[in-house]
C-alpha cells in the first residue's frame, strides 16, 4: 500500500473495514419539502438536523474526516431569495452549532471559493474555524461555493504562476505536485462517498480525490438521512473489497486450468 492507502481500520461490529474519511453529497432537501407541500427552503432547514446528527454520529464512531457538499459553484444560479435563505442558514449554523462542535471535539474546515460568500457568512465561518482550530477529534469539512473543476483549474493556474516565476520546474510536475495545489492537500482521499435522494451523479464533487472511493447511494432524501441510514452505508462499505487497481491482498493467485488438473491428478 502507498502512503495514501493505509491499512484499513477493522470494525467487527460492522463486519469489516471502517472508513476514515466519509464524503457526502447532501441531495434532496427541496424534494423532501415539495412532497410535503412545503416551501423548498424548509427542506434546507430540516437538512440542518441531519447535518448535526451525522456529524455527531461520525465523531462518536471514530471517523477522522467528514466532508459535506453544502453549496456548489453552480448553486449561485438558483433564485436570489433561496440563496439569501441558504446564506442566512449558514450563518445561523456557524453560530448555533459551536457548542456541538466543541462538545464533540470537532474541528471545522471549509473548502471552495470562499471569497464568493457574503461578508457576514464568511465572517461567521472564519470565527467558527478559529474557535475549533485546537480540537483534535474529527474534522468536519464543508464544501462551499465549491466545484471540483474549479478546484483543479485554480490549482493549475497557481502551478502556472509558480512556473512562470521560476519557483517550479514544469518537468517536476506530477500527480503529487498537483495535489499540493488543491484546496486541502493534506487531507487523505475519501474512502466512502455517499449520495442521498437516489441520484447517480457525482455533481462535480471531489473529482480528483474520489478516484478510488467506494460509492453508496441512499434512496432517502437528505433530511431523512440519519444515524440508521448512516449505519447501513457503513455496513455496505464494510462488505466491499478495495483493490486500488490491483489484486486483493492475500488472495491466492488463480492457477491456469491445466495446472489445476495437474494438482488433482
Residue-range domains of the chain with CATH: 15-264 (3.40.1180.10)
Residue partners of 124: CB distance under 8 A and separation at least 6: 90, 91, 94, 95
Let me know if 135 is a catalytic residue: no
Q: Examine the pLDDT at 265 and tell me if it is beyond 70.
A: no
pLDDT of 244:
72
Q: Is the pLDDT of residue 2 over 50?
A: no
Question: Rounded to an integer, what distance in angstroms lies between the CA atom of residue 95 and that of residue 213?
Answer: 32
**CA distances (Å), origin 7, targets 18, 19, 33, 61, 116:** 10, 11, 42, 18, 38
How far is 3 from 249, CA to CA, in rounded Å? Answer: 16
Q: Beta 65-72 vs 107-111: how paired, if at all?
A: unpaired
Q: How does pLDDT run across 8-57, given as a tens digit for each residue?
A: 778 878 888 999 999 999 999 999 999 999 999 899 999 999 999 999 99
Number of other residues whose CB lies within 10 A of the CB of residue 91? 18
Among 112-121, 162-171, 205-214, 254-263, whose mean pLDDT is lowest? 254-263
Percent of the chain at pLDDT exceeding 70? 89
pLDDT of residue 12: 72
- Distance, in Å, from the CA atom of 86 to the CA atom of 107, rounded to the nearest integer, reads 22
pLDDT band at 6 (very low <50, low <70, confident <90, very high): low
pTM of the full structure: 0.88
248 pLDDT band (50/70/90 cuts)? Answer: low
Catalytic residue chosen out of the listed positions 75, 154, 162, 184: 75
Predicted pLDDT of residue 262: 44
Question: Is 70 exceeded by the pLDDT of residue 247?
Answer: no
Contact 65, 188 (CB under 8 A): yes
Give me the catalytic one of 27, 29, 104, 189: 27
27 is catalytic: yes
Amino acid at each position: 500500500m502507498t502512503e495514501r492507502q493505509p491499512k484499513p481500520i477493522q470494525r467487527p461490529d460492522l463486519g469489516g473495514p471502517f472508513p476514515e474519511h466519509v464524503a457526502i453529497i447532501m441531495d434532496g432537501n427541496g424534494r423532501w419539502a415539495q412532497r410535503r407541500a412545503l416551501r423548498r427552503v424548509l427542506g434546507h432547514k430540516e437538512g440542518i438536523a441531519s447535518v448535526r446528527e451525522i456529524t455527531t454520529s461520525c465523531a462518536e464512531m471514530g471517523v477522522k474526516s467528514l466532508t459535506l457538499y453544502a453549496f456548489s459553484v453552480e448553486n449561485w444560479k438558483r433564485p436570489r431569495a433561496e440563496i439569501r435563505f441558504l446564506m442566512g442558514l449558514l450563518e445561523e449554523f456557524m453560530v448555533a452549532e459551536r457548542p456541538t462542535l466543541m462538545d464533540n471535539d470537532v474541528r471545522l474546515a471549509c473548502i471552495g471559493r470562499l471569497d464568493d460568500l457574503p461578508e457576514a457568512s464568511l465572517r461567521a465561518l472564519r470565527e467558527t474555524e478559529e474557535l475549533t482550530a485546537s480540537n483534535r477529534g474529527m474534522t468536519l469539512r464543508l464544501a462551499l461555493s465549491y466545484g471540483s473543476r474549479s478546484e483543479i483549474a485554480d490549482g493549475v493556474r497557481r502551478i502556472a504562476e509558480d512556473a512562470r516565476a521560476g519557483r517550479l520546474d514544469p518537468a517536476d510536475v506530477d500527480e503529487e505536485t498537483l495535489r499540493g495545489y488543491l484546496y486541502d492537500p493534506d487531507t487523505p482521499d475519501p474512502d466512502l462517498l455517499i449520495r442521498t435522494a437516489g441520484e447517480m451523479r457525482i455533481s462535480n464533487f471531489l473529482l480528483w480525490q474520489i478516484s478510488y472511493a467506494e460509492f453508496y447511494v441512499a434512496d432517502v432524501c437528505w433530511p431523512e438521512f440519519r444515524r440508521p441510514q448512516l449505519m447501513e452505508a457503513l455496513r455496505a462499505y464494510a462488505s466491499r473489497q478495495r483493490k486500488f487497481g490491483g489484486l486483493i491482498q492475500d488472495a491466492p493467485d488463480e492457477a491456469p486450468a491445466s495446472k489445476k488438473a495437474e494438482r488433482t491428478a
